[in-house]
């Protein structure tokens, strides 16, 4: 549709349809304006100032002692779980592999 056809179609609408279309158009304009203002606000909030543009100078590992590193890690607050059942740690071999290993151990060797 060209611009002239759209305008002609709008003029052919009844007064009620024109009002509802105008309301819809204004609502979309308001929502779009709010969205645009939010985007601009986010963009302005993300701008870096001179203070935030420079990263702090990294400290060399030699200047931090082990005790200071330990204090920074907050290791005192870590949860410790003791493993009482070692079955979860060392899984049993598969039954087929276990039976093959048993057969190999029980087979007579050539030295006998």
Q: Residue 88 has which token pair?
A: 């979860």
The residue extents of the domains of the chain are: 1-48
Higher-pLDDT residue of 81, 16: 16
- CA gap 42, 47 in Å, rounded: 9
pLDDT tier for residue 1 given thresholds of 50, 70 and 90? confident
pLDDT digits (tens, 9 = 90+) for 36-76: 999 999 998 888 766 666 666 666 656 777 777 777 777 66
The owner of tokens 């179609």 is 9
- CA gap 48, 45 in Å, rounded: 8
92 has pLDDT over 80? no
């Amino acid at each position: 549709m060209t611009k002239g056809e759209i305008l002609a179609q709008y003029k052919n609408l009844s007064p009620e349809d024109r009002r509802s279309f105008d309301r819809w158009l204004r609502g979309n304009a308001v929502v779009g304006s709010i969205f645009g203002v939010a985007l601009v606000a986010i963009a302005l909030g993300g701008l870096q100032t001179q203070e935030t543009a420079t990263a702090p100078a990294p400290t060399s590992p030699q200047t931090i002692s082990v005790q200071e590193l330990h204090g920074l890690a907050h290791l005192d607050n870590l949860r410790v779980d003791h493993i009482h059942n070692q079955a979860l740690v060392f899984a049993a071999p598969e039954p087929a592999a276990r039976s093959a290993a048993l057969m190999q151990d029980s087979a007579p060797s050539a030295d006998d």
